[in-house]
Structure 1
Amino acid sequence: MSERTSAKSRRLPVARHGILRSPNPITQILTVLGAIVAVVVVSVGAVGAFYVWDAANALETTSVSIGEEEGQLPPTLGEIEGGANILVVGSDSCEGQDLALFPRCAADDAPGERNDVTMLVHISDSPRRVTVVSFPRDMIVPIPSCPREDGSGSYSAMSAQMLNASYMYGGLPCTVATIESLTGVDIQYAASIRWTGVINISDAIGGVDVCLAEDVHDGHTGLNLTAGQHSLVGAEALQFLRMRHGIGDGSDLGRISNQQQFMSSLVRTLQSDGVLSNPGTLLNLANTAVSQVKSGQLLLSNTLANPQRMVQIAMAVRSVPYSDIVFVQYPTTYAEGGSRVQPVTSAAKVLFDALAANEPLQLTGSTSGGYGTEVVGEATAPTPEPTAGATPTPGATETAAPTDAATPAPTQTAVELPSQITGQTAAQVTCTLAQH
């Protein structure tokens, strides 16, 4: 039995280092889900019906197979049945990028396209929980045999390559196969996003709040931010997500923890009345997401390229409590020489066994492993009439939370994750630390 077949047979429910630049694709998957909700919201009229047709046509004609077959969709909308695993990839492609924002693309100093950011989004069955696992791009892993994108055969399997080489060898399907082989999970859905796509959908969201504990200066991305709260959009949001030299220890671990701060804030934004209950904002998100597919900045698997399926996924996560939305880094240790990292599979097994059993998670390590962020407060349930436009300050409590709060699940004993697994929950408000 092949590694891929063996991984699928388990049907597990789920989804630092280096010099390549990276955007944050989790922004994309969450906003795409919200965008498709917008398509449905506006579909009650003729204009909405056009967007439904246009979205479905654009998504289905440009999607890619990851070896999964989409089952028959139910006739009515509702939460997706069971759990789901979604792989989200951010690539470093220079195709279609603004050379003024990315000078290295003009110099063509890194040809090819790699998965700079790789995240597995796991949505559990009842009770609903969401776990997002970030995989360091320079982690040394086996890459299975992957079909060439031009259909001319397959690449040979490789026993030890950096994870970000998987996309270069076989595109999104190869990265899916690599993560399935590493984790043993069955990935049903996948998406990849390029830099300009992140910028455009960030603009459509209208801003994500981030916190800086200290002034931050990063000459590599050109981002300079003062200590305190900032609402980031467009290119500035992408710079924040790519930044690593100006924060923590300057490694990709710091960047991952920085991205987790952004994602936590994004989740709270998307679950708030300011976004998902605003038809104008939702329509803008829907239009933007479809345009990114058409322009080649966003690629979806054939299983995800269906508006109805995306609505079902969005409905499954819209009311998950902040404490049950957990962002973690796949555990690693430095390889010989210190320039690459290797997986710590024993610690990872604890995580993925807990996900398979749909058990709550308890982080025991620091929020960022000491690399880039610190906890400054908690995001709690909103008051009946939350103050519009309020943002937290370092040390304060944030008060944005999901509407339609889910009925609390029966009490379960949380699985204590090994300290090598660092991260945070969406309930934790964190601030980025400057590099010293």
Structure 2
Amino acid sequence: MARRTQAEQPRRSVVRHGKLPRSSSVKNASRFVLTTILVIAFSGVATAGYAVWGFLNSAKTVDLGVPAHAALGAGTQAIDGELNILLAGSDTRLGQGYDDGEEGELNDVNLLLHVSADHKNATVISFPRDLMVPIPSCPSEDGEEDFYPAMSEQQLNTAIGYGGLPCVARTISELTGMEIPYAAVITFDGVVGISEAVGGVDVCLTEPLVDPKTNLDLPAGMNTLEGWDALQFLRTRYGVGDGSDISRINNQQVFMSSLMRKLKSADTLTDPFKVWNLAKAAVDNMLLSESMKSMQFMQAAAGTVKDIDLENINFVQYPSVDHPYEAGRLRPNLELAAQLIETLQSGEAFDVTGAGGAVATPEAPADGAPPASDAPAADDGGRIKLPPEITGLKPDVESCSVGNTTY
């Protein structure tokens, strides 16, 4: 699939010193919006609840065609058992402030939030857009009886074109074996609005990030990005790591971790103006599954995740390997994926030990990860340690993007 030409937007950067965050891509820009949904819409904060509910009344919805949890009554405190929510990021230019003339729509962002049955752990799995996967038979978006035929292997980011959000949810569900009763799609304008509502996100670079394709020229150190600056930063691919989608996801996880820490701060959640603007920016630019459009669901979801500590949240990349004959594409690493899904379904607390080559953390300060291991192992505190080949980040660990590593 041909790369899309990316329009340039005005750039603005502010250099700071102190904390640490990261870098990312636009089609994958929506990755950090799921963090907003987690902490704002599901925070349990009263102002957030009323804000989200007010905007939900006008939200666009779609039927996923799968059963959700049993009907939630007024006052329900939490979802019973596991909670899975899919967030897809649309690259449509239709109706967006960002428009470079490209047409069509791809689901270039695919994130699955999984909350354990005991509601103590949360994981956000990032699925590379270049992943080649089976796509099941999906109903047409016009509601007619016609179905798109199943396909043995297609690029993941084309699923939205074969039946919209319900088809993306079916595809991820069949890939992971996990039921997905809740899902949403968000557009570019949502990314811009959310980054502005929080007053910018601090990202840390260990070296300058220069990418003419996205008009980025950021210095090493701390950069505060919001609005179109954040969007362009999230778009960059060739300016980070080895220029691959995998490196871009590494960097997006740095950004998400930084945003999560900011959203969790009292300065954000105790500010009614920020909370209101966050809710509006998210919901106004989203298509929701019908199962999510109720105050009862929002209240129950808030109760499900509100007590999860940062140390029990993981951002994880779905394991993959290079495709054997499709250049530039990936295929699932089924062995590692099975380890990841098994760990999630066990409900046990776990830690990722590999950060990926485009990220610098205290544990992996340069371009590496801890020595490889053959299987997950529990540490002395009872937490499972995933093998470093399954990469990711934890929001309680400050991380930096290492910038471009291939010249």
* Category of TM-score, reference length = shorter chain: 0.7 to 0.9
User: Residues of 1 paired with 2:124 and 2:38: CA distance?
Assistant: 15
User: Residues of 2 paired with 1:257 and 1:167: CA distance?
Assistant: 24
Superposed, which structure 2 residues align to 1:139-218 within 5 Å?
A: 139-152=131-144, 153-218=146-211
CA-to-aligned-CA distance 1:233-291 (integer Å, 9 cap, x gap): 1111122222111111011111101110111111111111011122221122233334x
Residue 234 of structure 1 corresponds to which residue in structure 2?
A: 227
Aligned length: 370
Cα shift at 1:339: 1.5
User: Residues of 2 paired with 1:248 and 1:133: CA distance?
Assistant: 20
Residue 304 of structure 1 corresponds to which residue in structure 2?
A: 292
User: Residues of 1 paired with 2:52 and 2:234: CA distance?
Assistant: 31
CA RMSD, Structure 1 to Structure 2 (Å):
2.7
The answer (yes or no) to whether the contact 1:268–1:426 under 8 Å persists in 2 is: yes
User: Residues of 2 paired with 1:207 and 1:79: CA distance?
Assistant: 31
Describe the shift of the 1:35–1:363 C-alpha distance in structure 2 as closer, same or farther (beyond 3 A).
closer
User: Residues of 2 paired with 1:196 and 1:127: CA distance?
Assistant: 31
Cα shift at 1:308: 3.4
Matched AA of 1:24: A
Cα shift at 1:53: 6.2
Query: 2:347 is matched with which residue: 358, 376, 393?
Result: 358
User: Residues of 2 paired with 1:175 and 1:218: CA distance?
Assistant: 31
The answer (yes or no) to whether the contact 2:206–2:402 under 8 Å persists in 1 is: yes
Describe the shift of the 1:56–1:344 C-alpha distance in structure 2 as closer, same or farther (beyond 3 A).
same
The answer (yes or no) to whether the contact 2:53–2:295 under 8 Å persists in 1 is: no
Correspondence 1:336 to 2:336: no
Cα shift at 1:82: 2.3
TM-score by length of 1: 0.78
Q: Secondary structure at the match of 1:62?
A: strand
Matched AA of 1:194: T
Matched AA of 2:57: N
User: Residues of 1 paired with 2:170 and 2:182: CA distance?
Assistant: 12
Q: Secondary structure at the match of 1:333?
A: strand
Moved more, 74-83 or 256-265: 74-83
CA-to-aligned-CA distance 1:46-73 (integer Å, 9 cap, x gap): xx6xx676434213x5344342345322
Correspondence 1:347 to 2:336: yes
Cα shift at 1:205: 2.0
Describe the shift of the 1:38–1:282 C-alpha distance in structure 2 as closer, same or farther (beyond 3 A).
farther
User: Residues of 2 paired with 1:320 and 1:43: CA distance?
Assistant: 17
Moved more, 277-286 or 86-95: 277-286
Residue 79 of structure 2 corresponds to which residue in structure 1?
A: 80
The answer (yes or no) to whether the contact 2:48–2:275 under 8 Å persists in 1 is: no
Cα shift at 1:377: 8.2
User: Residues of 2 paired with 1:27 and 1:195: CA distance?
Assistant: 12
Correspondence 1:373 to 2:372: no
Describe the shift of the 1:150–1:245 C-alpha distance in structure 2 as closer, same or farther (beyond 3 A).
same
Describe the shift of the 1:238–1:308 C-alpha distance in structure 2 as closer, same or farther (beyond 3 A).
farther
CA-to-aligned-CA distance 1:208-233 (integer Å, 9 cap, x gap): 22111111011121122111112221
Superposed, which structure 2 residues align to 1:71-150 within 5 Å?
A: 71-76=70-75, 78-98=77-97, 101-103=98-100, 106=101, 108=102, 111-126=103-118, 128-150=120-142
The answer (yes or no) to whether the contact 2:82–2:119 under 8 Å persists in 1 is: no
Describe the shift of the 1:62–1:363 C-alpha distance in structure 2 as closer, same or farther (beyond 3 A).
closer
Residue 36 of structure 2 corresponds to which residue in structure 1?
A: 31
Q: Secondary structure at the match of 1:259?
A: helix
- The sequence identity of aligned pairs, in percent, is 40
Superposed, which structure 2 residues align to 1:218-297 within 5 Å?
A: 218-290=211-283, 292=284, 297=285
Q: Secondary structure at the match of 1:275?
A: helix
Describe the shift of the 1:25–1:201 C-alpha distance in structure 2 as closer, same or farther (beyond 3 A).
same
CA-to-aligned-CA distance 1:84-133 (integer Å, 9 cap, x gap): 011111111111123xx442xx2x3xx32111011111111325111111
User: Residues of 2 paired with 1:237 and 1:121: CA distance?
Assistant: 23
The answer (yes or no) to whether the contact 1:198–1:234 under 8 Å persists in 2 is: yes
Describe the shift of the 1:42–1:341 C-alpha distance in structure 2 as closer, same or farther (beyond 3 A).
closer
Q: Secondary structure at the match of 2:217?
A: strand
TM-score by length of 2: 0.83
Structure 2 residue runs without a partner (length 5+): 5-25, 367-379
Matched AA of 1:356: Q
Cα shift at 1:324: 1.4
Q: Secondary structure at the match of 2:213?
A: coil
User: Residues of 2 paired with 1:201 and 1:195: CA distance?
Assistant: 10
User: Residues of 1 paired with 2:148 and 2:111: CA distance?
Assistant: 23
Cα shift at 1:77: 5.6
